[in-house]
Amino acid sequence: MTVENNKSIDNELNSKFKLFSLSRVMAIAMNTFTQLVRMKVFYFLLIFSVLIIGANVLFLNFTFEQELKILQDVSFGAMTLFASIFSIVGTALLIPKDIEDRTLYSILTKPVPRFEYLVGKLLGILFLVAVSLLLMSILFFAVLFVRQHGILAEEINQMRGQPSQEQISSLREDIFAQGLRLELINGVVAVFLKAAVAAAIALVVSTFASSTLFTIIVSLVIYFIGHAQSMALDYYFPEGDMHGALQRFIAGIVAIIFPNLQIFNVVDGIVSGQSVPMSLMFRLTGLTGFYLFIYSFVSWVIFAKKEL
């Protein structure tokens, strides 16, 4: 190694310490992503493929509306399940494991603030969830595309006599309206946003949990309560009955500890053919950003004082 090279390395190392460095965060995020990829998590794609192909084969005798709906239901259901599992289990598995294995020692004894470590881990998990959802979406959309064209051909074949061009156009319109459409992307985005909130929940829990199992169980409990939270609030504080400041305060605290995850379930409406207003998508994105910020902050407050 030349003296010049040594000098350039020294310059990089001696450059002033930054309180926040995106490159350090990205190093941790990419390392987390690599870790999960090398744990062979993408094998789940095989299960996903079997599920959606199975949904096709099993429901061949249904009407085309039912068949396309079932395909979308199964696909979105599987995407939600896998994305949630990756978010919760991935986060719960990695941070407590770093602490148990003392891998964290070698990271935090480098000039890495604890906040960067947490953000890096969270980003790595979110990156993995995004890539898996992208791959599942490609597979899902491809199967849907092939199936809707297959259904069209089958329906035309079953028509008596020679169908007119108008009849074919009308049929195509009916089938395609329930097949591959832009609205489905909103569904995938909503699944991602819900998974991101679930990952942030697991991040908070993992900062004070003593084991991976504890983190998974507590995160899953919060996740399920999050789906029933709005119902419970409606029951105890019926709309128009939330007058007192105390009631509002309690409702606010509950909403922060148990985020309303039911609000992210827009896929049922999409599969039934309803459109999702963009204002709702913006609201969901904003809500996810809020929860990510709050939960990351709480995680940092707990983790900053943690004795390792």
Partner 1 sequence: MSKDLPTAVQIKNLTKIFPLPFRKEKVVAVDNLSLSVKPGEVYGLIGPNGSGKSTTMKVLLGLISATSGSSTVFGMSSTETASRGSVGFLPENPYFYKYLTGAETIAFYGKLCGLKRKAIKERTSELLNLVELEGARDRRLAGYSKGMLQRIGLAQALVGRPKLVVLDEPTAGVDPAGSRKIRDLIMQLKEQGITVILSSHLLEQVQEVCDRVGIIFEGKLVREGSLKKLIEIEDQTEIVLENAGSDLLKKISDLVNQESGVNLVRSGRPRTTLETLFLKETGGDSKDARNDS
Contacts with partner 1, residue ranges (CB under 8 A): 1, 5, 8-10, 12-13, 15, 17, 21, 23-24, 27-28, 31, 34-35, 38-39, 101-103, 105-113, 305, 307-308
C-alpha span between 85 and 39 (Å, rounded): 14
Q: What's the distance, CA 205 to chain centroid?
A: 18
Compute the least distance from the CB of residue 82 to partner 1, in Å.
Answer: 21
Integer CA distances (angstroms), 213 to 37, 87, 93, 162, 302, in order:
21, 14, 8, 63, 19
C-alpha span between 284 and 17 (Å, rounded): 36
CB nearer to partner 1: give 86 or 140. 86
CB nearer to partner 1: give 30 or 135. 30
CA atoms within 13 A on the CB side of 129: 32
In three-state form (DSSP H/G/I as H, E/B as E, the rest C), the secondary structure along 240-268 is CCCCCHHHHHHHHHHHHHCCCCHHHCCHH
Strands of the chain, DSSP E: none
Torsion of CA 7, 11, 12, 18, to 10 degrees: 170
CB nearer to partner 1: give 13 or 246. 13
Helix axes 114-158 and 183-208, enclosed angle (nearest 10): 150
Q: Are 108 and 117 in contact (CB under 8 A)?
A: yes
Compute the least distance from the CB of residue 13 to partner 1, in Å.
Answer: 6
CB nearer to partner 1: give 1 or 245. 1
Compute the least distance from the CB of residue 91 to partner 1, in Å.
Answer: 16
Q: Are 203 and 90 in contact (CB under 8 A)?
A: no
Compute the least distance from the CB of residue 285 to partner 1, in Å.
Answer: 30
CB nearer to partner 1: give 36 or 151. 36
CB nearer to partner 1: give 166 or 307. 307
Compute the least distance from the CB of residue 4 to partner 1, in Å.
Answer: 11
User: How big is the CA angle at 288 (ends 286 and 290), to the nearest 5 degrees?
Assistant: 70
Compute the least distance from the CB of residue 43 to partner 1, in Å.
Answer: 15
Compute the least distance from the CB of residue 109 to partner 1, in Å.
Answer: 4
Compute the least distance from the CB of residue 44 to partner 1, in Å.
Answer: 18
User: How big is the CA angle at 66 (ends 62 and 70), to the nearest 5 degrees?
Assistant: 105
Six token digits for residue 136: 């599942």
Q: Are 124 and 32 in contact (CB under 8 A)?
A: yes
CB nearer to partner 1: give 18 or 248. 18
CB nearer to partner 1: give 97 or 149. 97
